[in-house]
Structure 1
Amino acid sequence: MRNNLFLNRMKIYTRNGKIAYDEKFHRGVNIIRGNNSSGKSTITHFMFYALGGAFNDWVKEAKKCSYVIAEIEINGAILTLKREIKLNNFGKANKTEGMFIYWGELEFAEKESEGWQKFNFNTTDNKKSFSNVLFENLNLPIVKGDNNITFHQILRLLYLDQDSPTNSLFYYEEFDTTLTRETVADLLLGVYRQELYDKKQRKVEADKELEDIKREIKVIKRFIQNPFDLIPSNLTQRISEKEKEISEIENEIIRLKNEENKVRFTKNTKLDFEKLNEETIYQRKKVKNSEQRLKNSYYEIEDTEYFIQALKNKLKALNKSILTRDLLGNFPIQNCPECLSPIEPIESTNVCKLCKTDIDDSFGITQAKKIEQEIDFQIRESINLISIKKRQLLELEAELESDKLKLFHLQQKVNSSINDVKTVRQEKLDQLYVDKGFIEGEIIQLRTLYENAEVYQSLIKLQTELEQEVETLKYSIDKITIEQEKLKIEIKQDIEKEGTYLLNNDLKRQEDFYQAKEFHIDFRNNMAYISDKDAKYSASSSFYLKISARYSIFLASLSIDQMRYPRFIFCDNMEDKGIEKIRAENFQRILVEEAEKFETEKYQMIYTTSFIPDELNIEKYTVGDFYTEQNPSLKNV
């Protein structure tokens, strides 16, 4: 599925509620015309901001506006975006202002107060950012970790502005990194694979888990130096032998008690015994209740896990339904299913081929995407809930162990409370109880050793599994990286071919351009060059080289399906840095000519200019009035 982003309409409101700007945009080429200082750049700044760009360098007219609202279409789903322009006491706006998103058309969004969702600029553990929403709908992998890519970073390769230096391929940022630029390029070129990212993340986690396990094994071996004490079967046998000894002692105690002629208690002793016995009975019930609560907690966690899996299956089914709709929607129907008569073809894609009724493909997709967001929210909430339940489970396990230990001590007190029983065999019974208590203590120690041995053996098994997993991951990462680099080279060759064509068709102003046999784009180092990275050109030629590079990426995306570039570009000023009028007009002609070799319904190109060729100055290409100082782009400010 090819990625597509379209700007359908944009409205800007003043702080007193009046409309400052309201224009609709069409598929294909959109040209915003006007004299210098008429507000063309301000419109592209608002586009950049509305789509999620981090921008706050507003001119005074823009500061009189309160918010911008834009209707966009992403892969068939229609969304309306709204961002406010809030100024602080120093008149400076917040460049990372959040975004309101409405699932539907702008016309309906403005009539509804409900249905809007607020998303912040940055992602948190509990809430998505608006970048997450846009990434998901554009089928862009969400890059997390040390290099968190926002939609602002994506726009840096979709937006051509006047303020960035001509030697900066990307929209300029003061704090920029080679890793960020390279990741954005890999995402948009389609060579970035989520599988590779996941495997790299998993390898980092597996390496850490392996180190932690090795550390735990080392600690256990330090405190349990006898290797036989780390074998569970050996400890089980020893515990069984001790339990057999206790059984023999208990049988002997019963025999001696049965032979006792008379057992007498003092009044105080009997009271102590009864009190301890009641406490023991209560504690035994408490242990039983704790065991039942623990069992219930296990069942609740298992049910929640089943529920999460069901939601994930539902999410997969929803995505498959969208793909099925696209497949069946493009299936040609040539004969009527009732009478088998030939059906006359219809040019319009918005009319049913059978009944001729108007259809709206975007509604179903939009609803599906909205449901997808809701299911994703339920999954996140369920995962948070299961984390809470697991913490509660640990607390219940600790509580149960504590109750069992208390019961054991109480039982010991009950046994020792019969210290005033007066029989001829008392001395032997007392010794038997001492022996029994000693052996019970040994059993407790052996059970502790057994638990540690079980943990130790589990850790040894897990260590082996992790070592195998790390080796497998390393192999897969190397393999995918090689494949990714190969694909990247192939795509870059197509891009550079487009760039060479744009340079070769420049007016004969720069010999290196119209005689160029090669052209290179270095995303990592933020530059484009012909053969010599250090070559210097005039300001106007440097500008021409930069826009050729940026538009070559856009043009290549129209023919390369695997590119994730959304077939959308917007540019501020085609005649920057003193470029001649005739040279700027020539570039526009060859650019439009190249773009129109493809279906206009599948891309959108927006740019501003003061020098528009006569053949392009028609309704098919233009948007809005020709702006002047007397008729600026922003009204009512």
Structure 2
Amino acid sequence: MMNNLHLNRLIVYTNNGEVAYDEKFHHGINIICGDNSSGKSTITHFIFFALGGEFNDFVPEARECQVVFAEILANDTIVTIKRYIEISDRTNNINARIAMHIFWGDYDESQNPPPNKYWQKFQYNTTPEKRSFSNVLFELLGLPEVKEENNITIHQILRLLYIDQESPTSSLFFYEEFDKQTTREAVSDLLLGVYNQDLYTLKLDLYHAEKQLEEVKNEIRLTKRFFQNAFSLNKEHLNTQIQNKEIEIQSLNEEILQIRSSIKEINYHSTDQLEFQKLQEQTSDKRIIVVNLQNEISILSNELVDSEFFIEALNDKYRALSNSVHTREFLGNIPLDYCPECLNKLIQTDNEHNCKLCKQSSDDSFGITQAKRMQLEIKFQIEESKKLLKFKNKNLTRLESSLEKNISELNDLQIRVNASIVDVRPFELEKLDSLNFQKGLAEGEILQFRTMLEQASIFEKLLEEKLTLDKNISSLKYRILTIQKIQKNLKKETISTIQTEGVYLLNNDFERQREFTSAEPKDLIIDFSNNLVYLKTDDTEKFKQYQKFSASSNFYLKISARFALYLASLKQGSMRFPRFIFADNMEDKGIEKERAQNFQNILIQRVNLLDPNKKSQLIYTTSYITDDLLHSEHIVGEYYTKDNPSLKHINK
């Protein structure tokens, strides 16, 4: 279970800089209790907001606060989160998408950071240049980033972790006015553990391959439209044409030389010298272009090799850090009861954070936290390096094509220079003029064929690229289909576990709803896609619609389904639900006190049974607290009242 989230501490400051709320939370059950209108809901709103949720419907007392801190434990990494409560002067609304500041350490250390640590600011939205705080939190929680039709944010994840009062009982998720079915499906698949990291990568590769294939096809279509004659794109045909023209030019040169050799007197005209000089200058300029292109290609090729080695080195470093974290976690769990030197039994220390051997204070989480932070930075470097590598490869292809064309042109110029050395033309001879004219036409045709040959080379590469992409796409689709079949079976198994836990809560309800006590796991339908939960009954089959119960029973059904997700995650390690859930008010919609208290008792008993070592965290608020729970270790803070609200030092 490597997707765990825990809230260690929540701190809220007022606009005057005073502490409005500061409480530590523990693993296992956490209960915030108090009278109605004492500020219990406000605390859960702050938790939702601090963890990255979009929330702006704060009560007036909460609007008197300026910043909220949350110290969290994400898997084995402790980080502190800070979000400001910013009110717009124009709309008077809270900025629900304000940036998040993250510190790699606990809250106390964040208030006076050492020189090697500092706060980092991350915006809400992800851009090609910058990562968002959702990207960071996903990495910490070991969640893959879902970027299919929707870019899933941490807010969307929290919609299934937070049970609020404002959402209607018909809404399984935290309610949003503009909600997409595809978003709910992606979030549920992710948290159920159905969404596969490899599938995400394969789909992303397929998306890029299909996009690249479409671009290649467009280039092929445009090239064919411009060169409608098929021979114009045939390299073998064009090379043959060039060779024929070169033979023709050679024959013309021989004929020209024969005519000139018969001339007794040769006059070297200035025009001949000027043409020779001109050809030499053109050849020199072209040679410089070729050399520069060769140098550019050489440098770029070396850069590509360096980039590939650099990316591979980063991947090795990322894997090494992962192995280091896993090794540290494994070795940290090995009990050390005897001294390795004298083999005597070690004396236990009262402080669990002290070393069993030397009794000095130790912090196992520090190394893991640093490794996680370095992993995150390396991952960002890898992504940027891959983008740069793709750009360089495209540039290399362009340079190679240009080099091929310029080398051909240089060869043609050199032939003309060589010919001009012995080319002292007596222009008064009409035969020479005619031959030179034919020679010029042939040379022009060669230039044209060279240009066409360059385009034919590009066209040939496009056809090869298309063939490679077609094969790659077929392979990707086959692998995606295979994984999806596995996903289907895993989802069926996970849903069955959730149904079992949900029906357990329904079966143990007070006998207020006959259908609850007789329900079976298969009767509980949790439809993430359509955002509803219902119970199949005889009436469901008869009237082709799900049965509606009283408001209190509908509320009981909803929270049973939501807590069933959390309980199922304690049993099934494949789920990515982060073994963390928080609920605002365990009594709503007129549910009676005894029924609400009974639900709390059976829920706590079930959690203790499934999570005896308290690896998960459950936070909820209630006004219907039993005497036993009121004096238990589960209580967080005081019992709040209107005269003693949850938020202190608020100016009313």
TM beyond 0.5: yes
The reply to whether residue 26 of structure 1 matches residue 38 of structure 2 is no
Equivalent-residue separation in structure 2 for 1:545 and 1:422 (angstroms): 103
**SS of alignment partner, residue 558 of structure 1:** helix
Change (3 A) 1:334 1:636: closer
Q: Secondary structure at the match of 1:206?
A: helix
CA–CA distance in structure 2, aligned partners of residues 575 and 142 of structure 1: 35
Inter-partner Cα distance in structure 2 for 1:107 and 1:496: 42
Cα separation, 2, equivalents of 1:116 and 1:565: 28
Q: In structure 1, give the amino acid aligned to 2:549.
A: Y
Residue 484 of structure 1, aligned match among 484, 487, 491: 487
- The answer to whether the 8 Å contact 1:506/1:514 transfers is yes
CA–CA separation in structure 2 for the residues paired with 1:236 and 1:410: 18
Q: How does 1:562-577 map to 2 (within 5 A)?
A: 562-577=574-589
Cα shift readout 1:180-218 (whole Å, capped 9, x = no counterpart): 111111111101112223333333443444444444444
CA-CA distance at 1:534 after TM superposition: 2.3
Out of 527, 531, 539, the residue aligned to residue 532 of structure 2 is 527
Query: Number of aligned pairs?
Result: 637
- How far apart in 1 are the matches of 2:425 and 2:2? 94
The equivalent residue for 1:189 is 192
SS at match of 2:485: helix
Does the C-alpha gap of structure 1 residues 176 and 26 become closer, same or farther in structure 2, counting only changes over 3 Å?
same
Q: Secondary structure at the match of 1:91?
A: coil
Partner of 1:70: 70
SS in structure 2 of the partner of residue 564 of structure 1: coil
Aligned mate of 1:296, from 294, 299, 303: 299
Secondary structure of the corresponding residue to residue 589 of structure 2: helix
Residue 612 of structure 2 corresponds to 599
Match among 112, 127, 131 for residue 128 of structure 1: 131
Are positions 1:17 and 2:17 aligned together?
A: yes
The 3 A distance-change label for structure 1 pair 254 and 500 is same
Could you tell me which runs of 5 or more consecutive residues in structure 1 were left unpaired when the two chains were aligned: none
> Separation in 1 of the partners of 2:398 and 2:98?
41
Deviations 1:329-352 (A, max 9, x none): 334557655456676888986454
CA contact (8 A) 2:46 2:68 kept: yes
Q: Is the 8 A contact 2:535 2:546 kept in 1?
A: no
Instruction: Pick from 161, 166, 171 the counterpart of residue 163 of structure 1.
Output: 166
- TM superposition score normalised by structure 2: 0.88
The alignment yields a C-alpha RMSD, in angstroms, of: 3.4
User: Which shifted more, 528-537 or 281-290?
Assistant: 281-290
Q: Does the Cα contact within 8 Å between 1:27 and 1:600 map onto a contact in 2?
A: no
Q: CA deviation at 1:111?
A: 1.8
Which letter does structure 2 place at the counterpart of 1:631? N
Once the two structures are TM-superposed, the CA of residue 446 in structure 1 deviates from its matched residue by 2.9
Query: How far apart in 2 are the matches of 1:501 and 1:422?
Result: 106
> Secondary structure of 2:68's partner?
strand
Question: For the Cα contact (< 8 Å) 1:256–1:425, is it kept in 2?
Answer: no
Shift in Å, 1:537: 1.6
Alignment of 1:1-150 (within 5 A): 1-89=1-89, 90-112=91-113, 115-150=118-153
* Deviation of 1:521 (Å): 1.4
Residues 266 and 420 in structure 1, CA contact (< 8 A), matched pair in contact too: no
Residue among 513, 525, 537 paired with 1:510: 513
1:625–1:505 CA distance, 2 compared to 1 (3 A): same
Post-superposition CA distance 1:32-87 (Å, at most 9, x none): 11111111100100000000000000111111111101100101001110111111
Partner Cα distance (2:132, 2:601) in 1: 40
Preserved contact between residue 260 and residue 425 of structure 2 (Cα < 8 Å): no
- SS of match in other structure, 2:302: helix
CA distance in 1, matches of 2:612, 2:648: 34
Per mean C-alpha deviation after superposition, the further-off stretch among 320-329 and 71-80 is 320-329
Q: 1:27 to 1:153 in 2, by over 3 A?
A: same
Report 1:423-442 matches (<5 A): 423=426, 429-442=432-445
Measured at CA, do residues 545 and 369 of structure 1 come closer, stay the same or move farther in structure 2, by a change above 3 Å?
A: same
Q: 1:330, 1:112 → 2: CA distance?
A: 29
- Paired residues of 1:265 and 1:420 also in contact (CA < 8 A): no
Aligned AA for 1:576? Answer: D
Structure 2 SS opposite 1:543: helix
- CA change 1:606–1:419 in 2 (3 A) is same
Provide the residue aligned with 2:496 in structure 1: 493
> CA contact under 8 A between 2:401 and 2:458: conserved in structure 1?
no
Cα distance between partner residues in 2 of 1:6 and 1:398: 57
Tell me the residue number matched to 2:467.
464
Give the partner amino acid of 1:232: K
SS in 2 for 1:94: coil
Structure 1 pair 239/599, CA: closer, same or farther in 2 (3 Å)?
A: farther
1:417 and 1:230 map into 2 onto residues whose CA distance is: 32
- Letter matched to residue 107 of structure 1: D
Q: Is the 1:29–1:606 Cα contact (8 Å) retained in structure 2? A: yes
**Bigger CA drift: 69-78 or 248-257?**
248-257
CA distance in 1, matches of 2:19, 2:470: 63
1:264–1:277 distance in 2 versus 1, CA, 3 Å:
farther
CA distance in 1, matches of 2:418, 2:430: 14
d(CA) in 2 for partners of 1:329, 1:420: 88
Task: For residue 306 of structure 1, report the CA deviation from its aligned partner.
Answer: 2.6
Which residue type is aligned with residue 571 of structure 1? A
Structure 2 portions without partners, runs of 5+: none
- Normalised TM-score (structure 1): 0.90
Separation of aligned partners in 1, 2:445 and 2:593: 96
Cα pair distance change 1:174/1:418, threshold 3 Å: same
Alignment-mate amino acid for residue 596 of structure 1 = N
2:643 paired residue number? 630
Residue identity matched to 1:29: I
- Which stretch of structure 1 is more off in the superposition, 175-184 or 226-235? 226-235
d(CA) in 1 for partners of 2:351 and 2:612? 14
Does the Cα contact within 8 Å between 2:2 and 2:142 map onto a contact in 1?
no
- Which deviates more, 531-540 or 187-196? 531-540
Residue equivalent to 2:598? 586
- Residues 425 and 432 in structure 2, CA contact (< 8 A), matched pair in contact too: no
Contact 2:4 2:579 in 1 (8 A): yes
Give the secondary-structure state (helix, strand or coil) at the position aligned to 1:494.
helix
Q: Distance in 2 between matches of 1:268 and 1:466?
A: 56
